[in-house]
Every structure is written in structure tokens, then in C-alpha cells.
Amino acid sequence: MDEGTPLDAAMAAAFVKRLGEHLDCNINIMDRDGVIIASRDPERVGSYHEAARRLVERGSSIESIPPGPSLPVGVRPGVNLPILLRGEIIGVVGVTGDPAAVEPVAYAVKTSVESMVELELFKEQAMRRQDRKNLFVNRLLFEADTPRAELDALAAKLGYDPVSPRAPVLFRLRPGLAPEKALAAIKSSAAHGAEDISWVAPDGAILVWKRLPPLGEGLMERYHEAVEAYVSAIDTALDPRHGGRPVDAVYAGAIQTDLARYRGAYRQTLWLAARYPQPTERIMYLYDHLSRYIANRVPRADLVDALEGVAALVPAELVTELAATVDALFASAFNAKEAAARLGIHRNTLAARMERLGRMFGFDPRHDARALEFLAIFVRYLELRSGGKA
């Protein structure tokens, strides 16, 4: 069945066969040309029904044919009603018998046929949309040379605004939770909108390109709030009784407004998942680990050229404590008390470390933005240099 011929003969025949098990009168279904395409009387299939064709031509709402000796060839007493699809006549249903007796049956059959056609058309359109969406996702995430114009055209056909801000959110499901069922539950959640692009990844994780609300001022705070609210709603959708933990881990990539960059942002979530398979936070944000990500993406030879000379001059004992100290400072927004607590040391010990660091490099990252930028990348390089995971 397609949109050009929505009344399919095979579908109509199956319908008449099922309905005929519960009715005594004959039922015919005719196409727009008046040809009987389904009937309880197999001998009538393929024959011409003049009254049906006349009803279509006139656009009548009903045609009753009383018994009589002068009926046209192929026409029997009964009631004929138009089969409508979105206001258009696509065929005719006829029930044979005394019009007064069979008219209620004819209306019931008409309504059933129209509902069946609507359902089949909806299913077909859903399948076509899914095929188009699969093509869109494939182009979006796996074919780097796809022209931007093609991505925009596919997005428009699917109803996605190509320039709306979205962020990739990757859900790692608990073992045993079927991805397709989980995705269906996610899409049924009120938090999941028509502009959210969702997909089951090859490894069974679920990727959602979450459309973000207008961000404006405080955009990073609003970004976090939007992602956290969405993840909380999805937790409830997947486990409405809160009896378990349906999602093992959540990874959120960078904000994007250009479809051509979605592939890279998806790979950011994969990097986060590989780097933090057992996350310490409910949601692992790329922006919270940006220096580590950047260091990981820069060609190793370029990092060596830029930083190996400095690394060779830093004493080994300082290298050992440098990464943990800098990470604790970042995590605590340079609050000395909180950073010391994270490290499990006294504030005076942390102060001593910062003094040694200041003497070594000649700057204090707590008060020097350039020093902070340098140390963020330098520490990541030291991890790579020592073979640490990055």
C-alpha cells in the first residue's frame, strides 16, 4: 500500500474475510473505479459495480438500492457508502440486502474500513520516517563528507530545526535492559520533545541530541540545568517506581548549533565513556574534563614538542603530586579548604605544595589565568607521558 493507492486489495480481502466470520450478509469493497476488489462472494471479485462508480462520481454520502426487477448488471439490493480518507473518497463499501435492515451494518463496516486504512497509512508513514531517520543519523554520525546542505534537507523533512542548540547525551543502560524498549519509554516521556533526536547506538547505548532551551546569559548554568532535568525525567521514565538504576552512566557532550559538528560531539561522549567507564558523577560533562580531552586529541608529537622540555626539568617528586593537586584545585574552584579535603591533607600541607609549585614555575595559578591554562594542559601531558589513561 502507498499514498497513491491507499485502498489495497489484499488488505481489503483480509478484512472482509475476518468480518465475514461474524456477519450473514454479503460485503463488497470497491475501488474508485467501481471494481470490486474484495467480497464474501469470491465470484464477484474483479467485476464492475455501476452504483459504486456512480457514488464516487457524484460524491454522494450514501446510495441505497431497493430490490426490483430492473437492476443494472452486477448490482444487487443493498447500501453503498463512500470510504473516506482525510475527506477524499478512496473507495466504496457495499452491504447486500434490504437497505433498511443492512444500513446500520454498512455504516459499521465503513467506519471499520476507514480506521483500518488510517492505521495502515500511519504505520507505513512511520516506517518511511524511520528509514529516512536512519539515513539521517548515518549521514550525521558516520559520513564525515556529507554536504551540509544534505544534512539540513534531511533534518527539515524529519521536522528538526538544523540550527537549534542541542547537546549529545549518551545513556549507558544497565545490563538486561532492552535498548529498543528503553528508547520507546524515553520517547514517551514528557521531557522528550519532537526536536530531540534519539537513536540506539551499535553498542546498545542510547544517544539523544537534546534540544536546549534558549540559553542567553548564564548559558553554561542553563545547559547543565537542562541536561540534569532531562536525565532525571528519563530515570523516572525508565524506572517509574525508582526500584533500581536503569541507567549505569550518562555522558554529555558539547553544545552544537551546526549539524556538521554533531559527529565530533558524538565522539566526545564516546571518549568520556571510554575515559570514565565507572564515573564518579551522575552525569559526566565534557566541559568538566576539557583540558584532558584537548590534550588527548592533540597529536602526541605536537605535545612532546611543546611540553617535553619543561617536563624534563621538573623534579620527579613534584611531578608525582602535581596532577592530583591541580585536579583538586579545579574541582574545588580553587577553594583551598575544599581542595585539601579532596586530597586528604591539611590546608598547611596544600599551602606548602603551592609554594613549591610557585617556586618551580615562577607563577601562582590561583591568581594567574595564563598559569592556570598552562598547568591544565601540562598536567594532562604528564598523564600521557607516564602512560596514564587520557
Range list of H helices, the chain: 9-20, 50-58, 99-142, 148-158, 179-188, 219-238, 262-275, 290-297, 300-311, 316-331, 336-343, 347-361, 369-385
pLDDT of residue 210: 96
Q: What is the per-residue pLDDT for 168?
A: 96
Q: Is residue 143 part of a domain?
A: no
| Structural domain boundaries, residue 234 | 164-296
**Neighbouring residues of 347: CB distance < 8 A, sequence distance ≥ 6:** 336, 337, 340
Question: What CATH number is attached to the domain comprising 282?
Answer: 3.30.70
C-alpha to C-alpha distance for 320 and 310, rounded to whole angstroms: 15
Q: How many domains does the chain contain in total?
A: 3
Residue 387 — very low, low, confident or very high, per pLDDT cuts 50/70/90? Answer: low
pLDDT, tens only, 45-55:
998 888 899 89
In angstroms and rounded to an integer, the radius of gyration of the C-alpha atoms of the chain is 34
Tell me which of 230 and 177 has the higher pLDDT: 230
197-200 vs 78-85, strand pairing mode: unpaired
- Confidence (pTM): 0.60
Answer with the one of 82, 99, 117 that is the final residue of a domain. 117
Whether 74 has a pLDDT exceeding 70, the answer reads no
Domain end point (choices 296, 323, 341) = 296
pLDDT tens digits for 309-333? 888 888 887 887 788 888 888 777 7
Residues 143-157: pLDDT tens digits? Answer: 888 888 888 888 988
pLDDT digits (tens, 9 = 90+) for 337-376: 888 998 899 989 988 888 888 888 888 777 777 777 788 8
287 and 336 in a single domain? The answer is: no
- Give a yes or no: residue 150 inside a domain: no
In this prediction, residue 138 carries a pLDDT of 86
CATH number, domain of 15, equals 3.30.450.20
Q: Is residue 145 included in any domain, yes or no?
A: no
Measured from the Cβ of residue 110, the count of other Cβ atoms closer than 10 Å reads 22
221 shares its domain with 314:
no
Same domain for 100 and 23 = yes
Q: Tell whether 292 and 307 lie within a shared domain.
A: no
The residue type of 31 is D
Cα distances (angstroms) measured from residue 168 to each of 197, 208, 282: 9, 6, 16
| pLDDT value, residue 146 | 84
